[in-house]
Amino acid sequence: MDQPVIELKGVTYSYNSEPVLDNVDLTVWAGEFLAVLGPNGGGKTTLLKTILGLLRPQKGMVRVFGKDPSQVSERIGYVPQKSNVRPDFPINVLEIVLMGLTDSRRKGFRYSRAEKELALRSLEKVEMQPYARRRMDSLSGGQAQRVLIARALVRSPELLVLDEPTSNVDPHGKFCFFELLAALGKSITVVVVSHDISVASARISGVACVNRRLLHNLKPELTPEMLSLLYGEHDHTCPVGVYMRDVSALFGVREINGRAGEDVHAGEKDA
Amino acid sequence: MRGKKMLEALSHEFMQNALLAGLLVSVVCGVIGSLVVVNRLVFLAGGMAHTAYGGVGLAFFLGWPVMPCVVGFTLLASTVLAGVTLGRGEKADTVIGVLWAAGMALGIILLDFTPGYNVDLMSYLFGSILTVPRSDLWAMLLLDLVVLAVILLFYKDFLAMSFDREFARTRGVPVTFLHFLLLAMVAVSVVVIIQAVGLILVIALLSIPPYLAGRRASSLRKMMVFATLWSILFCFLGLRLSYSFNITSGAAIIAVAVACFFAVFVFDTLRQRFSAHKVKT
């Protein structure tokens, strides 16, 4: 029987007794391309850090490939927010990718020829091999993001986790970026965390919305409940209500709380 | 004529010792200074240098040998500072400022209580590279070797931690341990550098050579090597000026470093403006 790649059961995580994730369940299967959407402060990054094993939930269980995340770090590729990375750092593209091979048990300061070849092959996958000797600060936002993906891919991971990967990338760059991810997604499981829901619509296979609670749809569609979870309940005259209508059209949501596209009125059904 | 004067200076043992001390200081400045700059720990390194004065006071108060006592005291201070700053980033600046002042105050109070105290305070504040004895050179060499061995051993881990701590954690890099280890290395380096330029000027030698080296270096390794070379240049030119004009050697070294810093800064700014102008036309 197939084993899920990611399995979260009843996960609760709080900062200063304020729960950011509250009793969250999530199952991701091999080959999925999942977009995790949510507002700022909704718990997306906390969710991602629990999957990576950087945070331990106060309640619940996290399993990646059936084990504790810290035991399978070799099988996970991680692309952090670009803002984590110092732009003026004295480092070239090849060395950034080689960093993905860092193993704290292996000491010294030299990289082997095999490691360099592996890094160059990884750069080739994201079409950045010609930039191998360039400094990081000479690259555009989109190019830098590709280098960080190459670093995550250098160990040939089975799960790729990306945190807000397109936050500093222009619309064309975003499109190319998701094309690249979709091509990779055929062979590995991809989880993309973003607050920008428009970029995730094109190539994803499933969507999860997190705002303290989590709702997961195995299809690339936002349900009315998901929109309510993301943005709360808004009248159609409210700007947020108008935005929700646009989003619902983008994701093919036919009805939001009983009304068709033009009359978005979350919560009206309950009323 | 000038060459003859310099050759004559080099024949003195104190000058030979000073040049060797400059070389040993430059190695730690280049290697540890680069890590200090890329990890944005310049303020913390300055705080640690001033805290070291508490160790000087303690050594005289207890009648212990100065260098081992300052090493021990500064290592202790580095452990406290590492604990306080871990995960707090720039928010830790207030605590660093407090420890900075506390170390200085403790040193002065202990020296006040020291009976028959008649040590030249200036030599610890502004350095005395021209009076470094051979025995201190051996101790400096030992500290240099310790620093180099640690950095060579953990280079890849330090690189990953300095570039992106969160990613480093996912790769199993012991970030917390390395943070404490780096600050311990800064503490050891501070003690070495105090010999040359004194604790007040340590911050300049830990930041100016790495800044100049980091502008063009394509790797942290190259930055460390170039920063070491810049530092050797500053130490040797500073010593030359100090000998020729009979000025304090530590201050002369820093004056050369600061002059180079501003010359490069102005050159870079003009070059940027010139290239921007060329693009427009």
ipTM, 2 dp: 0.83
- Report the DSSP beta bridge partners of residue A62: A8
- The side-by-side arrangement of strands in the sheet containing A213-217 is A76-79, A159-163, A189-194, A33-37, A206-211, A213-217
Q: What is the pLDDT at residue B280?
A: 61
Which amino acid type is present at position B21?
A
Test B160 with A99 for CB contact under 8 angstroms: yes
B242: which residues sit within 8 A by CB, 6+ positions away?
B130, B248, B249, B252, B253
Domain limits of chain A?
6-220, 224-271
Q: What is the pLDDT at residue B124?
A: 80
Q: What is the pLDDT at residue B213?
A: 96
Q: End-to-end CA distance of chain A, in Å?
A: 45
How far apart are alpha carbons A59 and A61 in whole angstroms?
A: 7
Average pLDDT over residues B229-239: 95
* Segment B127-146, tens digit of pLDDT: 888 888 888 899 889 989 99
Average pLDDT over residues A73-95: 86
Facing residue for A89 by CB, picked from B38, B166, B170: B38
Domains of chain B plus CATH, in order, are 2-280 (1.10.3470.10)
* Segment A62-77, tens digit of pLDDT: 999 999 998 998 899 9
User: What is the phi/psi pair of residue A163, to 5°?
Assistant: -105, 115
Spell out which residues of chain A touch residue B170, defining contact as CB-CB under 8 Å: 52-54, 73, 76, 78
pLDDT greater than 90 at residue A221: no
Average pLDDT over residues A141-150: 87
- The overall average pLDDT reported for chain A is 81
Test B167 with A76 for CB contact under 8 angstroms: no
Facing residue for B169 by CB, picked from A54, A90, A99: A54
- Report the DSSP beta bridge partners of residue A135: A92
Q: End-to-end CA distance of chain B, in Å?
A: 51
pLDDT greater than 90 at residue B151: yes
**Residue entry with tokens 């830790």:** B92
Test A76 with B170 for CB contact under 8 angstroms: yes
Q: Which B residues 5-64 touch A at CB under 8 Å?
A: 38
- Note whether A223 and A215 are within 8 A (CB): yes
Residues found in chain B: 281
Cβ neighbours, 10 Å, residue A76: 24
Test A108 with B152 for CB contact under 8 angstroms: yes
Q: Can you give the pTM of this predicted structure?
A: 0.84
Q: What is the pLDDT at residue B145?
A: 95
Which one is predicted more confidently, B181 or A230? B181
Residue range A6-220 in CATH 3.40.50.2020: no
pLDDT greater than 90 at residue A259: no
Average pLDDT over residues B227-254: 92
Facing residue for B219 by CB, picked from A78, A88, A90: A90
Test B170 with A54 for CB contact under 8 angstroms: yes
Spell out which residues of chain A touch residue B165, defining contact as CB-CB under 8 Å: 84
Which segments of A4-125 does DSSP mark as H helices, in order? 44-52, 93-99, 113-125
How far apart are alpha carbons B39 and A120 in whole angstroms?
A: 27
Which one is predicted more confidently, B112 or A261? B112
Q: What is the pLDDT at residue A142?
A: 81
Test B38 with A90 for CB contact under 8 angstroms: yes
pLDDT greater than 50 at residue B58: yes
Chain A nearest CA to B214, separation (Å): 6
Residue A256's pLDDT band (cuts 50, 70, 90) = very low
